[in-house]
A and B are shown apart, each in its own frame.
Chain A
Amino acid sequence: MLVLGKVALGLGATLAMCTAYVFHEGVIRVDVDEHHRGGEHVHFWVPATTVSAGMRLARLAPQHPLEQAAEQVKPYLPVLRTLAKELQKYPDAEFIDVTDPEQHVHIATVNGKLQIDVSGDDETVHVQVPVETLMDVADRFEDAARSAREEDWRVGHAKHSAVFDSE
């Protein structure tokens, strides 16, 4: 009985630690409601850690989709990184608010999360992303871009060596 109790406690502790780790970066929340007939309603939330983990897994894919994406977003990575780093200093602030009769756009940070709300006649969109996740995304893209560069260098070096050896 005592052993079972210890095992249960061990499992419980492991589960609690895993849960704490998965949620330590917070949750990404997306709500989309289309107000027309047959409109879609999308509501989901995912632990922010899964984005980082997902991007790590994507690097293992044979077509290297993350490396390709990293090449495209490379010019914007310094801005994303700096913005994410600086936004951490403003955990509760309003940045942009646009109001007109058709829609209302609001961009702010709330409790350390970047919150984008768009309320219109046609649809309502609410997105909430922990600022820290933006840093992670920038990190993962930078890693991918770096490894793509290293791979290019390796391929180029191998070709050069082959030519040199044949001569």
Chain B
Amino acid sequence: MNLSIRGFLKSAALLALAACALAPVAGLARAATDTDQWIHIRVTSKDAKGEVVRINVPIELAAKVLPAINKDQLHDGKVRIDSAHMEDVDLRVILDAVRTAKDGEYVTVQSNENNVRVSKSNGVLYIYVTDKEHAKKAAKEDAAKGAKASEAVETKVEIKVPMKVVDALFSAGKDELDLVAALRALSAHGDTELVTVKDAENDVHIWIDSKNTAE
């Protein structure tokens, strides 16, 4: 009897050892810490269907996966810009001028079609664009159809980019944007709003924080 108990205990010990040895490796993998930064994208459609798209991507994951994608203009986490589309504008020189300039409002355009405001404050570049043309076109289309004019909604775009991110983006060299470097710079910057677009059809919101779920 004693022998069989001892045998049972031996087997049980063996089983426990095996179970520990074969425990899923995934459970032992390093879990993301709370300090990991996430990019959140939320697109809310204003039409009757009310489509909502929420995308949450860890910046670290994006920074690791991007270099593995080699397709079209994207190689090694860098996007090649077609210089033909730059129309002889040297973005690097412009950005250098903006970086070294003092905080303030650089561009202010107010017209019947658009309002554009570009400013820099505390190392962050702000771009505000209000497109009035879209609302006018919609009103004209409504009038042509004989329909009651719908509420004219201007397209408002607000972009907020830390200058360090812009620097990192243009750090790759001529005609290239270094997306991975920009992502790492974004991650280091902490929680921030990046892009807000509001128009008649959609609301787009892109921001960064340390939560792994959208708001």
Could you tell me which B residues sit within 8 Å of A by CB distance? 3-4, 7-8, 11, 14-15, 18-19, 22-27, 29-32, 45, 49-58, 60-61, 64-65, 68-70, 212-214
Contact = CB atoms under 8 A, between A and B. Distances in A.
Interface string A77-103: 011011101111111111111111100
A9 interface: yes
Interface string A114-150: 0000000000000000111000000000000000000
16 contacts: A6-B4, A12-B11, A24-B24, A82-B64, A88-B26, A89-B29, A93-B212, A94-B212, A94-B214, A95-B56, A96-B56, A97-B52, A98-B51, A100-B50, A112-B27, A130-B24
Top 10 A-B residue pairs of the complex, sorted by shortest distance between their CB atoms: A112-B26, A78-B68, A88-B29, A100-B51, A97-B54, A24-B22, A86-B61, A93-B212, A82-B68, A79-B68
Given A6-B7, A90-B61, A98 B31 contact: no
Interface residues of A, number: 41
B42 to A, nearest CB: 9
A5 interface: yes
A88 B28 CA distance: 9
B54 A132 contact: no
A17 interface: yes
Contact of B15 (A13, A24, A88, A94): A13
Nearest to A82: B68
A97 B57 CA distance: 12
Nearest to A92: B212
Contacts of A9: 7-8, 11
Given A82-B64, A89-B31, A100 B49 contact: yes
Contact of B61 (A25, A75, A87, A94): A87
Contacts of B68: 78-79, 81-83
A26 interface: yes
